[in-house]
Structure 1
Amino acid sequence: MQRNFKLIFNGLLLISIIFNILILILLTLDFALNFKPSILDIVRFDFIVSILIILRTFFRLKNVKSKRTFLSRNWIDVLAIIPLAYIAISIFPNTYLLVIVLLLVRIYALFKYMLEIRDVIRLTRKTKLDYATVILLTTLIFGSILFYLVESPVNPTASTLDSSAFFMIVSMTTVGYGNTVPVTRIGQLIAVTAIVVGIAYTGWVTAAMASSLIEDFRKKRKAETEKLNKSMENILEKLDKIEKELEEIKDSKEFK
């Protein structure tokens, strides 16, 4: 049960980190192109991801003897805990160069930390979820850029890259706030593609998690069955031994 909870938590953390990285990449492009992002509040998600990383680090520290040695060897954990993007945009929103540098450092730290979640990485490779994630990210990135290019000239609600990315995210999660609506045919096609890919990915993740839980249950049952069979074999061996000893005692009495 504890292993299943750990796997689910790490899976949610991995997905959160991926989405956070994408948000930070789009924000970095906005600042690099001297576009003032219109939805800066979305960077609060970076703060939520830091809280999730703190929780995972706390549970990992409970199982180690030397916490100082663990933190020194896993320095990327400490760097990933700090919500640099949230700090940069909250304190220095007008210092574009500093914001860009801190965003790039944050993206690097999150990417390195993401690669350390090995149990989920193994699961994604085994269930081909890594390919589905690549399709999801590709759709999100190129869909956001294409939606911005075709909608921004005629749609005031999609005038910035981050608003287009926000539209793609709420479409892929099937939330659909409705504050940004495509007005072009291509924009509507992008929206439909985002919804289909989002639903398909959700189903794929659900199937992968279910498959992992079932496999874990089968391994436990198999281990319990093997343990039970071994115990039965030991009992049978002892019974055979007792039976032989009784026969020897019986034979010795008959001989006398």
Structure 2
Amino acid sequence: MSLFHIIPDRHDVVQDHNAPKDKNSFRHKLYVVIFQNNTRAGRLFNVGLFLFIFASIILLILESVESISIAYDKVFDIIDYVFLIVFSIEYLLRLYCVRDAKKYALSFYGIIDFLAIVPSYMEFFLPNWHMLMAFRCFRLLRIFRIFRMVRLLDESRYMMLALLRNFNKILVFLFFIVLLTLFLGVLLYVIESPYNPGFSSIPQSVYWAIVTITTVGYGDVAPMTIGGKMIASFIMILGYAIIAVPTGMLSAAVVTKYRDMDNASRTCPHCHNKNNASDALYCKICGTPLSDNMKQK
């Protein structure tokens, strides 16, 4: 499955292409209620689902507080089972009412829905997995569809495509940073280990280099020698440049993406001239109305 199938797009949000063919069937009516929000029943269903998701997340947060968890342990268990049953039935109904269950299960929201209920079942085998139910918060992404903010998903999709376009550059850059961090960690180990117990091993020194070069700076380990402090100062200054490079790559890619989109909208449909101004309404060569102007009419 291609990575592009995981990026939410307009088809994943609307999903009319996956509706049952028979519009008079129970499956189609159920599909409209669950997946569409242009009806009163559909909107009520989705709003109610959001309230359930919010309630389950709040419950999970309260369970992490030891005093509250001990006082209401049995109540939390009962509510957890209720949420498990509700979300499991809801997921099965989604698979039932769509035209292609496999296609939905492998779609962006299908994967999110599945991963949201898995921790509840894994809790019977691994109790620590219980807290991973916080993954349900990602189901709230559907709020963009319900309140007709699909355009915002398109914006995030453009940013994701820009990131993928520069993935190789960023990967090479990160690989270089890993090598640099390893070298600096070993260098600090050689300089500091005879005098500083904080640099007791190369892994510990590399950990310090990572914390420093990312400008996190926990302060649990610090150089004591003059040479170590000089190298630490260099790493701290280098950290700012390291943060700026991938940010600049992504920003340039996003700007290029929008510029390409703008140039495409300003291409003359008659003479195919691409040298029109960004705010032009008519082609400067043949005078043909451009796409934006035609839409306004």
Structure with greater contact order relative to length (CA < 8 Å, sep ≥ 6): 1
TM-score (norm 1): 0.40
TM-score (norm 2): 0.35
Higher share of residues assigned helix:
1
